[in-house]
Structure 1
Amino acid sequence: MFPHRARPRGGRPSRRRSLVYASVASVVLVGAASSGTMYVKAQAHDAEGLVSSSVASGASASSGATAAMEATVESSAVPTAAVSAAPTPAASPSPVVDRDALLAEAVEAVAVEDGAEVSVAVLDVSSGESAVYGDGAFDTASIVKVDILASLLLKAQDAGRGLTAQEKTYAAAMIRNSDNASATALWTAIGQAEGLRAANERFGLLDTEGGDGALWGLTQTTAADQLTLLRQVFGTTSELSEGSRAYLAGLMGEIAVGQDWGVSAAGSSEIALKNGWLPRTATGLWDINSVGRVGVDGREYLVAVLSDGNSTKEKGVSVVEAVAKAAVACFEEG
């Protein structure tokens, strides 16, 4: 199976004001009536909230009292109208950052050999933002060992048991040292491609297909699917139990010296990973992949980088590390 190339490409007073007018006028003029000067009879509000009133004079009304009444009414109305008209400031919307576009620009600036392909997916765990570049299918090589162990742990959970001593021996050798014989034993234990498919359906992997027969290294996957798998291992919402997640993540944090290249180049702490490298006999070209978790300045990232068509292992490793750095930098820049 061969991967395919993928590149992203004035008016009336208000009701409230009228009520103030009526209320103040009633207080002032009724007071005047008690001294035998004048009285006010306030009539009902009309349908629009306007107030009408009739004023009758008993004795001749003093012009001073009338002036005082008008001054009192007007002075009461001004602050009420001002308060009612006060504008409410609008909140400014936060700018939207197109992470996919930033990632595409960053990856396309990385020097890749002619004929080689690369795809990457990254998640900023703190913000929950993610980005993906490329959607092509690639050979997993040894990164499928994370999927094999996750499937075995899920199968053991379903059976209500832990891993046996032998299974733990195989698991440790398979993840820490990338031991192929151990991977073959556990591939058989999960039911090979069918067992992997059943587990991945529950994990949410949509585009991963197990290799034929015992050829687990030729499983096909996408960067997006590998990011989904990393969420199952390092996230809190997972089909795997807390104990299973801690066990698998712990092994990924103990990779043998000499196999700890790849996405680790993008981080300074919290590094846990699994790499895959496979020379294709038909072409002599290399599949080079790396998946895992890295920490940078107190922030955690999940990163999956897949590549094929590399002329040498060393050139493929260099590309994968450069792409991992570029992917994380897209989020470090804000």
Structure 2
Amino acid sequence: MGTRMLSGRTAIAAAVVSALLAPMPAVAAGASSVQVPAACRSVLNPDLAARMSRDILGVLSSRRGTVSLAVHDDGTGLTCAFASERQYDAASVAKVTIMEATLRRSEELQRTLTEWELANVRPMITVSDNAAAQRLWGNLGRAVLDRFLIRVGTTGTELGPAGYWGLTRTTAADQLRLLDVLTNARSFLKTRAYGLQLLSQVRADQRWGVPAGMPKGLTAHLKNGWLPRSTHGWRVHSVGAFTGPHRTYRIVVLSHDNPTMAYGVRTIERIAQAVHRGLDQGRGLVQGPTTEGKVSEVSDGSAPYEPVPGWDEPERDATS
């Protein structure tokens, strides 16, 4: 807008956009998510970034709970970060880390996946099989998993204690990094095509979340997590990469303090619709929002409901 004088509605609009794009401190977990505006940036398309910030904030202004998101569009260079360093129990989203670590290990050993690995990786992702995740978690071991996370560049992900892979703490920023490993052509992960294939084959009743509002011509590669616990209510997460001819972008939404699973799903899908709409204006939709009757309200079973001694720390949760 330069230095020219603005008045009336134009000045008000400029002030709103400036406020949306200004960095803001994170709020304590459990506080209204509207207190932290979505900050989107794009050097190539600053108008898109401003509009996206406004639309996402508009969604969150009417939603309860604690929400974080991270978005990146390769084409426009648009990035959005909303409390993206806040930690959450990963729930079944941790299975993406387990899968990628398994793929990476096979490359380090210069071999293809074994029949045993294939027999566990596929159901772990496509039907969210917890027993398969437990077997791979134990087989990989913490050293391999930690080394993989360091190699990827995660900064806020902590592996869950002992066999509690669902209690892995993670952030939206780190989940975006993990998706980048699978979609970035410069990635060291040569087997990324297989990982993306599995994420595109998640069964129908688990394909809610970030695909809502997705346009035609794209393929959704996603993994979700849905876990109620005695503190912070429902954790409802959805992470996904969207690929098509000459187009790739990624959306991550993590949340807790949701009163029900359906409520968390609806929040995520409204955010996703705003992102898809902004990035793909004028293109017909291939997936609409999930109706509440199709949300099961049954835990993904990735972690216990009650606190785990020595791991769940209320003082830490209150500031995470």
Could you say whether these structures have the same fold, taking a TM-score greater than 0.5 normalized by the shorter chain as the test?
Answer: yes
1:166: Cα distance to partner? 1.1
Which segments of 5 or more consecutive residues in structure 1 lack a partner in the other structure?
10-93
Deviations 1:299-323 (A, max 9, x none): 4321111111111111111111111
Which segments of 5 or more consecutive residues in structure 2 lack a partner in the other structure?
1-27, 38-42, 283-320
Which SS does the other structure have where 1:109 is aligned? helix
Amino acid at match of 2:92: S
1:125: Cα distance to partner? 2.2
Deviations 1:249-295 (A, max 9, x none): 00001011200111111313311111111111x24711000111235
Amino acid at match of 2:277: A
**What is the RMSD computed on CA atoms of the aligned residues?**
2.6
Q: 1:140 to 1:99 in 2, by over 3 A?
A: farther
Structure 1 CA distance, aligned partners of 2:209 and 2:272?
8
Question: Counterpart in 2 of 1:293?
Answer: 241
The equivalent position to 2:102 in structure 1, one of 129, 146, 152, is 152
Q: 1:108 to 1:201 in 2, by over 3 A?
A: same
Q: Are residue 4 (structure 1) and residue 26 (structure 2) matched?
A: no
Which SS does the other structure have where 1:293 is aligned? strand
Question: Counterpart in 2 of 1:316?
Answer: 264
Question: Counterpart in 1 of 2:168?
Answer: 219
Question: Counterpart in 2 of 1:58?
Answer: none
Q: 1:284 to 1:206 in 2, by over 3 A?
A: closer
Question: Counterpart in 2 of 1:62?
Answer: none
Residues 113 and 310, structure 1, Cα contact 8 Å, conserved in 2? no
Aligned pairs for 1:117-128 within 5 A: 117-128=66-77
Aligned pairs for 1:29-48 within 5 A: none
Amino acid at match of 1:212: P
Q: Are residue 133 (structure 1) and residue 82 (structure 2) matched?
A: yes
Moved more, 316-325 or 106-115: 106-115
Counting aligned pairs with the same residue, the percent is 35
Which SS does the other structure have where 1:206 is aligned? coil
Amino acid at match of 1:127: T
Q: Are residue 143 (structure 1) and residue 93 (structure 2) matched?
A: yes
Question: Counterpart in 1 of 2:212?
Answer: 265
Which SS does the other structure have where 1:236 is aligned? coil
Residues 203 and 239, structure 1, Cα contact 8 Å, conserved in 2? no
Q: Are residue 233 (structure 1) and residue 233 (structure 2) matched?
A: no
Structure with max Cα Rg: 1
Question: Counterpart in 1 of 2:303?
Answer: none
Residues 151 and 195, structure 1, Cα contact 8 Å, conserved in 2? yes
Structure 2 CA distance, aligned partners of 1:258 and 1:228?
26
- Size of the aligned set, in residue pairs, is 244
Amino acid at match of 1:177: V
Deviations 1:222-254 (A, max 9, x none): 11111111110111121211xx10110000010
Question: Counterpart in 2 of 1:252?
Answer: 199
Query: TM-score w.r.t. structure 1 length?
Result: 0.67
The equivalent position to 1:107 in structure 2, one of 51, 56, 75, is 56
1:332: Cα distance to partner? 4.1
Aligned pairs for 1:47-196 within 5 A: 97=46, 102-111=51-60, 116-135=65-84, 136-192=86-142, 194-196=143-145
